[in-house]
Amino acid sequence: MTEPIIALDHLTVSFPGHPVFSDLNLTVNRGDFLSILGPNGVGKTTLMRTILHQLKPTSGRVVYYPSRREVTVGYVPQFRNIDPEYPLSIRNFIELNFPGFRLPWLSRNERLTTNAIIQQTGLTQIEHRPLGEASGGEKQKAYLAQALVEKPDLLILDESTASLDPVTKTELLDLVKRLNETSGLTVLFVTHDIPMARRYSNRYLMMSKGGTESGRIQDLSDQQVWRSDHV
Amino acid sequence: MFSYVFMQNAYLASTIIAIICGIVGVFVIARNMSFLTHTLSEIGFAGAAFGLFAGWSALGGMLLFTTVSSVLVGQLSAKTSRRESSISAISALFIGLGILFISLSNKNASYATNILFGSVIGIDAAAVHQLIWLSVAVLAVIFVMYRFLTFDSFDPVGASVHGLWTNVISIVFLVILAFSVSVAAQVVGSLLIFILLTLPASAAKYFSHSVVGMMTIAVFLALIGVWGGLYLGYVTNWPVSFFIAAIEAGFYFCALLIERFKK
Ligand SMILES: Nc1ncnc2c1ncn2[C@@H]1O[C@H](COP(=O)(O)OP(=O)(O)OP(=O)(O)O)[C@@H](O)[C@H]1O
Ligand SMILES: [Mg+2]
């Protein structure tokens, strides 16, 4: 089953006076777990923000199937400013992600979904602590939980696991992988961790100054990894 | 004290206003809009003065000026730093305009004092009804938009990723804020609006970690402030606004102290 969810169509993005990437073409299918690799500053975050329609491409476009409105996207950004005095508890922060013209209080279903996600992401012990006081890794878990609570079709992780300890990292990626396998969640996984990319994804997109390459993850050679860092 | 109709009206009006300010204040704090609120109150002063000059009510002029300017200011620039300086320039302009309208309208200085410092004791039944309608409208909009407003206020990044129309939400909120400012000015005056709109909510965030919890506490603190202020004003004959300001500032500093001790 290869049903596309997004396509990058001759996508070019440049900031005033300096191009980031140009003429990027790629189709991501439903159920793909795509690792986005490449050195610092190559444009991985920029690409994610373009996919999210937060940045306008210089030329080309990002197409969603069947349409942007019909694809629910969860995004765990690389950086997020949370004031140390941010008042909401982790649970209340996660529950923000149920927007709509509905009653202010959550429905039974919404509460059950939140409970399940909190449990799966291992936040049960600290769900009532204010998010501002959580550690870096705990914050990352909360962001992931918030993104997952609306049952996204597409999940974008921008180095979201970089500040996690090895055990937690594996636990969370196992959870994402499980959702990927059982409910067909499509994952865009930006990472510098090649072993993790090999372990969890089925495809890769390697970005480098010289251009981008993509393919099946088992075809990613160490040479390519080395080259992309040194071009 | 309650046998006087003017005291009944004053209590009724300030109760409604405390509820509105507590609830809207939580969003003001979450959206970092204390400074804008302050400016809106100065613009409200100009609006009220214009209302008198044009022969409308002070409230009508305030509503017009604060609504138009809040939407303009909110759209002015997304960059906070630049927004702050442009807001300062705008507030200077509006205070000047307020002074001009007051002097053109040939009213005596006590009108200016009333607008600036509040005149809740003088509020009549018709004005109370007006406040009730405005407040019900504000609360209804908040109720319907609640989930959008909380998402966008407490997690703007998440809301924009979700594809919410954050621009629309932000304009709706600015209009809500403009209405609240105009309503609150009736009790504490335009100079002291931020006392009710920001201090109770700022204190509340130290005591609760949920939106509804913060709203409840903020409303409670605002209510104690206005009720206590009216009572003390009645007993001592000192200005009500003074007592409200003192009580709310007291709450805020207590909250800070308690927070210190917990750490
Ligand atoms: N808002 C912006 N304005 C101008 N230039 C920008 C902006 N955002 C990013 N850039 C530039 O675009 C390039 C790509 O940045 P980007 O953040 O996408 O890199 P990245 O691949 O995510 O790097 P990292 O691995 O460090 O996260 C960088 O050279 C950066 O300086
Ligand atoms: Mg990045």
| Complex ipTM | 0.88
Q: Which of A18, A46, A79 most suits a substitution to test ligand 1, by most atoms within 8 Å of the C-beta?
A: A46
Residues in chain A with CB shorter than 8 Å from the CB of B210 are: 88-89, 92
At B192, which amino acid appears?
A: L
pLDDT of residue B82: 60
**C-beta separation of A14 from A156 below 8 A:** no
For residue B110, the distance in angstroms to the closest alpha carbon of chain A comes to 42
Contact call for A96 and B154, based on CB within 8 A:
yes
Residue B210 is nearest to which of A88, A101, A129, comparing CB atoms? A88
pLDDT of residue A113: 96
Please name the residue whose Cα sits nearest to atom 3 of ligand 1: A15
Higher-confidence residue of B184 and B236: namely B236
Contact call for B210 and A85, based on CB within 8 A:
no
Average pLDDT over residues A159-174: 89
DSSP states along A122-152: T-GGGTTSBGGGS-HHHHHHHHHHHHHTT--
pLDDT of residue B79: 52
Contact call for B163 and A80, based on CB within 8 A:
no
Please name the residue whose Cα sits nearest to atom 6 of ligand 1: A15
Residue B34 has pLDDT above 60, yes or no: yes
Q: For residue A18, which phi and psi values (nearest 5 degrees)?
A: -150, 120
Q: Where are the domains of chain A?
A: 1-71+153-231, 81-151
Q: For residue A220, which phi and psi values (nearest 5 degrees)?
A: -75, 120
pLDDT in tens, B90-140: 888 888 888 888 888 877 667 777 777 777 777 788 888 888 999 999 999
Please name the residue whose Cα sits nearest to atom 27 of ligand 1: A40
pLDDT of residue A178: 94
Buried b (16+ CB within 10 A) or exposed e, B93-111: ebbebbeebbeebebeeeb
Q: Find where tokens 């009532």 sit.
A: A128
pLDDT in tens, B54-94: 888 888 899 999 898 888 776 665 555 566 677 778 888 88
- DSSP symbol at A17: T
- What is the distance between the terminal CA atoms of chain A, rounded to a whole angstrom? 36
Q: Which of A108-117, B14-23, B98-107 has the lowest mean pLDDT?
A: B98-107
Query: CA neighbours within 13 Å on the CB side: how many for A33?
Result: 23
Residues in chain A with CB shorter than 8 Å from the CB of B143 are: 104
For residue A59, the distance in angstroms to the closest alpha carbon of chain B comes to 21
Nearby residues of B38 by Cβ (< 8 Å), 6 or more positions away? B91, B193, B194
Coil/strand/helix, residue B52: helix
Average pLDDT over residues B232-255: 92
A1-71+153-231 is classed CATH 3.30.450.90: no
Residues in chain A with CB shorter than 8 Å from the CB of B160 are: 54
Secondary structure of chain B: what % helix, strand, coil (to 5)?
Answer: 85, 0, 15
Q: Residues of chain B with pLDDT > 70: what percent?
A: 95
Higher-confidence residue of A228 and B245: namely B245
Residue B150 is nearest to which of A68, A96, A103, comparing CB atoms? A96
Q: Which of A13, A35, A37, A45 most suits a substitution to test ligand 1, by most atoms within 8 Å of the C-beta?
A: A45
Q: Which of A42, A80, A163 most suits a substitution to test ligand 1, by most atoms within 8 Å of the C-beta?
A: A42
Chain centre distance of CA B66: 11
Neighbouring C-beta atoms of residue A12, cutoff 10 Å:
15
Q: Point out the ligand 1 atom lying closest to the alpha carbon of residue A47.
A: 18
Distance A160 CA to ligand 1 centre (A): 16
CA Rg, chain B, in Å?
Answer: 18
Residues in chain B with CB shorter than 8 Å from the CB of A69 are: 163
State the pairing for strand pair A59-64/A73-76: unpaired
Strand-pair partners of A214: A205
pLDDT of residue B78: 53
| Ligand 1, CB within 6 Å, residue ranges | A 15, 20, 38, 40-46, 78
Q: For residue B42, which phi and psi values (nearest 5 degrees)?
A: -70, -40
Residue A211: band (very low, low, confident or very high) from pLDDT cuts 50, 70, 90: confident
Residues in chain A with CB shorter than 8 Å from the CB of B212 are: 104
Distance A16 CA to ligand 1 centre (A): 12
Contact call for B160 and A54, based on CB within 8 A:
yes
Domains along the sequence of chain B with CATH: 5-262 (1.10.3470.10)
**C-beta separation of B20 from B138 below 8 A:** yes
Interface test with A, best of B34, B154, B161 (most A CBs within 10 A): B161
pLDDT of residue B108: 67
Residue A47 has pLDDT above 80, yes or no: yes
Average pLDDT over residues A127-151: 93
| CA–CA gap between residue A26 and residue A11 (Å, rounded) | 9
- pTM confidence score: 0.90
Element (H, E) at A99: none
| CA–CA gap between residue A198 and residue B28 (Å, rounded) | 46
Tell me the average pLDDT of chain B: 87
State the pairing for strand pair A18-29/A4-15: antiparallel
Top mean-pLDDT range of A52-66, A160-174, B155-169: A52-66
- Count of H-run helices and E-run strands, chain B: 11, 0
pLDDT of residue A229: 67
Q: For residue A149, which phi and psi values (nearest 5 degrees)?
A: -65, -25
Residue B147 CB burial class (10 angstroms; 0-12, 13-18, ≥19): buried
Neighbouring C-beta atoms of residue A218, cutoff 10 Å:
10
Neighbouring C-beta atoms of residue B77, cutoff 10 Å:
14
Nearby residues of B148 by Cβ (< 8 Å), 6 or more positions away? A99, A100, A101, B159, B164, B169
Strand-pair partners of A61: A9
Residue of chain B nearest A79, judged by CA positions: B157
Q: Find where tokens 């399940």 sit.
A: A116
Report which bound ligand comes closest to the CA of A19.
1
pLDDT in tens, B199-239: 999 999 999 999 999 999 999 999 999 999 999 999 998 98
Q: What are A176's two structure tokens?
A: 């994402």
* Crossing angle (nearest 10°) for helices B240-262 and B193-204: 20
Average pLDDT over residues A80-109: 92
- What is the distance between the terminal CA atoms of chain B, rounded to a whole angstrom? 43
**C-beta separation of A36 from A52 below 8 A:** no
